[in-house]
């Protein structure tokens, strides 16, 4: 592999939430890996320590913020602050799953805009840039005080799905807002794509999905979403296409958060397989986002020191 000119002065720090992804990212970037000692004190406080020097180097801290989100987030902020404090050059937060990104604006009076605060805290801790994967809200990243990019895991998911015999499958996004991912996956699989309209009641939290006629009779269907949390949205979409005669239904997502009972909920609705990435380490993380993350980090670090 050809060494890019910026390589050699980059360190990848393996946050406690993403040790194996960090190792893959270091390999992709040909960067040195610094491990982290982490523990929990008996009273419940977190402790982190960088196990190697980072002075004067560009540092990429890999720490996904899935459950427990607040603990993972605090560990991330501690690592950013520590790296800066011991003399790191630029610090990039590589946060495949950005916690709280669904709360990107105030829907009800007095509500916290949590997603925006998370970005503010990362900047305050000392982050000079952020790379995330398939952020739920691109608008949120534009509110960041630092350069922030979201890379797509869709091509990586699509390659995996193709290898699982899903070429030509019909690709469905269960929410119009995520249509772009469905289109990207459909381009690789060579089939068509469409979306369903989903509406959420901001007070009750209740979600309604429209039932629409789709050309899925006798065909394989891939339902693609960014996050699978309770699995309810995917289950609803699966029921709709199953009722219209779909053959095999596979669910694919970047972030398999999988709140309690999510897998069972989807399987009961006729989903045959669930495919996720290691943006969130789970039992369905079959695809690594390391190549996409590496691309995002390269893009950020190529920006001049001044603009970072």
At residue 188, what are phi and psi to the nearest 5 degrees? -75, -40
Helix (H, G, I), strand (E, B) or coil at 149: strand
- Would you state the torsion angle of the CA atoms of residues 288, 293, 294, 297, taken in this order, to the nearest 10 degrees? -170
User: Binding-site residue total for its own copies (CB under 8 A)?
Assistant: 51
Q: Which of 51, 71, 177, 198 is catalytic?
A: 198
Q: Of 81-89, 131-139, 207-215, 239-247, which part binds its own copies (CB under 8 A)?
A: 81-89
List the one residue from 7, 20, 32, 114 that touches its own copies (CB under 8 A): 114
Distance in Å, CB of 39 to its own copies, minimum: 9
List the one residue from 28, 61, 78, 251 that touches its own copies (CB under 8 A): 78
Contact status: 110 vs its own copies (CB under 8 A)? yes
The H or E element spanning position 226 is strand 221-228
List the one residue from 8, 51, 199, 215 that touches its own copies (CB under 8 A): 51
Are 148 and 132 spatial neighbours (Cβ–Cβ below 8 Å)?
yes
List the one residue from 82, 132, 150, 285 that touches its own copies (CB under 8 A): 82
Show the tokens assigned to 13.
């720090």
Q: How far apart are CA 84 and CA 57, in angstroms?
A: 10
Distance in Å, CB of 216 to its own copies, minimum: 29
Active site residue 120: no
The H or E element spanning position 240 is helix 232-243
Q: How far apart are CA 190 and CA 177, in angstroms?
A: 21
- Would you state the torsion angle of the CA atoms of residues 172, 174, 180, 181, taken in this order, to the nearest 10 degrees? -70
Helix (H, G, I), strand (E, B) or coil at 11: strand
Distance in Å, CB of 49 to its own copies, minimum: 5
Q: CA separation (Å) from 158 to 153, 222, 286?
A: 9, 10, 12
Find the farthest-apart pair of alpha carbons in the chain and give their distance in angstroms, rounded.
Answer: 60
Contact status: 17 vs its own copies (CB under 8 A)? no
Angle at 166 between CA 160 and CA 171, to 5 degrees: 95
List the one residue from 1, 2, 42, 218 that touches its own copies (CB under 8 A): 42
Please identify, using beta-carbon distances, which residue of 51 and 208 lies nearer to its own copies. Answer: 51
Distance in Å, CB of 73 to its own copies, minimum: 7
Distance in Å, CB of 148 to its own copies, minimum: 16
List the one residue from 71, 176, 248, 299 that touches its own copies (CB under 8 A): 71
Residues 254-283 that bind its own copies (CB under 8 A): 257, 259-260
Positions marked active-site: 198
Summarize as ranges the residues that interact with its own copies (CB under 8 A): 41-53, 67-71, 73-74, 77-79, 81-82, 85-86, 99-100, 102-103, 106, 108-114, 116-117, 120-121, 123-125, 229-230, 257, 259-260
């Amino acid at each position: 592999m050809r060494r890019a000119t910026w390589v050699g002065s980059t360190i990848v720090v393996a946050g406690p939430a993403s040790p194996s992804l960090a190792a893959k990212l270091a390999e992709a970037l040909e960067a040195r890996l610094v491990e982290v000692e982490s523990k929990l004190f008996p009273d419940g406080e977190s402790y982190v320590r960088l196990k190697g020097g980072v002075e004067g180097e560009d540092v990429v801290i890999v720490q996904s913020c899935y459950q427990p989100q607040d603990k993972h987030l605090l560990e991330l902020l501690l690592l950013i602050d520590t790296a800066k404090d011991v003399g790191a050059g630029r610090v990039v937060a590589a946060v495949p799953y950005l916690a709280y990104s669904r709360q990107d604006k105030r829907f009800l009076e007095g509500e916290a805009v949590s997603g925006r605060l998370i970005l503010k805290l990362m900047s305050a801790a000392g982050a000079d840039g952020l790379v995330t994967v398939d952020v739920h809200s691109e608008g949120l990243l534009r509110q960041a005080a630092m350069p922030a990019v979201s890379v797509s895991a869709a091509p990586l998911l699509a390659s995996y799905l193709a290898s699982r015999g899903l070429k030509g499958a019909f690709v469905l996004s269960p929410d119009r807002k995520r249509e772009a991912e469905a289109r990207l996956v459909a381009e690789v699989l060579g089939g068509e794509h469409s979306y369903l309209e989903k509406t959420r009641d901001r007070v009750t939290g209740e979600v309604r999905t429209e039932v629409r006629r789709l050309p899925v009779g006798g065909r394989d269907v891939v339902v693609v979403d960014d996050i699978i949390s309770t699995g309810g949205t995917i289950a609803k979409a699966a029921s709709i296409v199953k009722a219209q005669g779909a053959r095999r239904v596979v669910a694919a997502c970047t972030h398999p958060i999988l709140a309690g009972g999510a897998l069972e909920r989807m399987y009961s609705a006729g989903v045959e397989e669930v495919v996720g990435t290691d943006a969130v380490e789970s039992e369905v993380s079959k695809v690594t986002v390391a190549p996409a993350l590496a691309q995002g980090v390269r893009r950020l670090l190529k920006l001049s020191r001044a603009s970072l």
